């Protein structure tokens, strides 16, 4: 077999020069020369190795391609279908990324409106149950206190029975309360409290109805800097709620001990006063306290209840 003539550029050899580092020269060798044959053989071997490597790479690449195609054609499409089913189950409009974004961010108007309606229904049901809750006083066998003359259901402003029993008109006149209306035409008098303590009555009203000469910055006995920073009520006479004002009056006159009854008319005891009534009871050194307000009757029979927080305020 005749080999084609191939030209190579080589440099003359000596005993100290390595062939791999030789500079190129203008000398030409034929393919039949020993040096040229060796170099060509090396190139042929390199070419074969390169071809094998490329073939192996192509095979590997094909495997990877198959692995990548499977999730694209099967699993991913299935995930998309599953996602669509989930969105359809939610009743959300739209497709694709827009649907996903709206579902996750809660921007679907129909869903928001449905939630609002559900919340309103729950609140209405709660109010209905609250209105049906019995407010009868505990039987004598269940309480050491005799039956109270007034019930929680009667604790509303200008109830004739309450006004007559507690002498509300005379108390209002003595306190010189403000009987006006606000900018919306509603009465400024929203809450009244009467504390029956050792045969005496202590009367007070909500802040806006309190006589302006009494609504001062004088600190109450339960004053705290923390409440002042937090701008909470019941820290001064200007911010005192009716029930706290009545108890503070008793404290100022030197009343201590005993188990009085306080009637709160017009509004239920708020969260602030649930805590501050117990603080006032500690200041007065009470052995017990009965609170009658529009939400029911609360009885404290253990002085330790005034020091506890949490679930002691129950109807």
Task: Write the pLDDT tens digit of every residue in 203-229.
Answer: 999 999 999 898 999 999 999 999 889
Which of these ranges, 68-72, 126-130, 148-152, has the smallest mean pLDDT?
A: 68-72
Does 315 have pLDDT greater than 80? no
> What is the pLDDT at residue 132?
58
Does 285 have pLDDT greater than 60? yes
Dihedral (Cα; 249, 254, 260, 261), 10-degree rounding: -10
3-state secondary structure of 67: helix
Cβ 225 vs Cβ 290: under 8 Å: no
What integer is the mean pLDDT of 2-6? 53
Residues in the chain: 315
> What is the pLDDT at residue 51?
53
85-124: pLDDT as tens digits:
444 444 444 445 555 555 555 556 777 777 778 888 887 7
> What is the pLDDT at residue 124?
78
Which residues make Cβ contacts (< 8 Å) with residue 236, sequence separation at least 6? Answer: 216, 217, 218, 219, 220, 223
- Backbone φ and ψ for 222, nearest 5 degrees, come out as -105, 20
> What is the pLDDT at residue 53?
60
Q: How many CB atoms lie within 10 A of CB 290?
A: 19
Percentage of the residues of the chain whose pLDDT score is greater than 70:
58
293-305: pLDDT as tens digits:
999 999 999 898 8
> What is the pLDDT at residue 127?
72
229-245: pLDDT as tens digits:
999 999 999 999 999 99
- DSSP for residue 158: T
Q: How far apart are CA 102 and CA 27, in angstroms?
A: 78
Q: How far apart are CA 241 and CA 223, in angstroms?
A: 13
Instruction: Give the N- to C-terminal CA distance of the chain in Å, as an integer.
Output: 115
Q: How far apart are CA 3 and CA 6, in angstroms?
A: 9
Question: Residue 291: enclosing H or E segment and its boundaries?
Answer: strand 289-293
C-alpha torsion sign, points 107, 112, 115, 119:
positive
- The closest of 253, 310, 261 to 281, measured between CA atoms, is 261
- The closest of 233, 190, 202, 239 to 217, measured between CA atoms, is 239
> What is the pLDDT at residue 113?
78
Tokens of 265: 């008319």
Which residues make Cβ contacts (< 8 Å) with residue 136, sequence separation at least 6? Answer: 151
Chain mean pLDDT for the chain: 74
Tokens of 285: 């050194």
Q: How far apart are CA 252 and CA 191, in angstroms?
A: 22
């Amino acid at each position: 077999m005749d080999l084609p003539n191939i030209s190579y550029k080589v440099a003359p050899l000596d005993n100290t020069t390595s062939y791999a580092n030789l500079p190129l020269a203008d000398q030409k060798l034929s393919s039949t020369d020993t040096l040229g044959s060796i170099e060509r053989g090396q190139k042929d071997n390199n070419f074969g190795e390169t071809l094998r490597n490329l073939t192996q790479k192509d095979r590997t690449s094909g495997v990877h391609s198959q692995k990548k195609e499977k999730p694209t054609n099967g699993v991913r499409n299935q995930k998309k279908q599953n996602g669509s089913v989930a969105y359809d189950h939610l009743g959300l409009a739209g497709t694709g990324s827009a649907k996903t974004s709206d579902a996750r961010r809660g921007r679907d108007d129909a869903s928001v409106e449905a939630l609002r309606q559900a919340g309103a229904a729950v609140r209405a049901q709660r109010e209905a149950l609250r209105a049906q809750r019995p407010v009868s006083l505990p039987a004598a066998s269940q309480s050491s206190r005799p039956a109270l003359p007034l019930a929680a259901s009667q604790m509303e402003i200008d109830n004739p029975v309450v006004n007559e029993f507690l002498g509300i008109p005379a108390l209002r006149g003595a306190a010189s309360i403000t009987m006006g209306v606000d900018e919306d035409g509603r009465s400024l008098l929203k809450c009244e409290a009467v504390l029956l303590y050792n045969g005496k009555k202590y009367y007070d009203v909500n802040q806006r109805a309190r006589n302006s000469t009494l609504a001062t910055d004088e600190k109450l006995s339960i004053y705290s800097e923390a409440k002042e920073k937090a701008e909470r009520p019941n820290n001064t006479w200007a911010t005192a709620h009716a029930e706290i004002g009545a108890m503070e009056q008793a404290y100022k006159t030197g009343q201590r001990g005993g188990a009085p009854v306080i009637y709160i008319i017009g509004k239920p005891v708020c969260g602030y006063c649930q805590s501050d009534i117990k603080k006032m009871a500690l200041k007065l050194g009470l052995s017990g306290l009965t609170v009658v307000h529009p939400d029911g009757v609360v009885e404290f029979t253990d002085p330790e209840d005034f020091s506890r927080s949490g679930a002691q305020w129950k109807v």
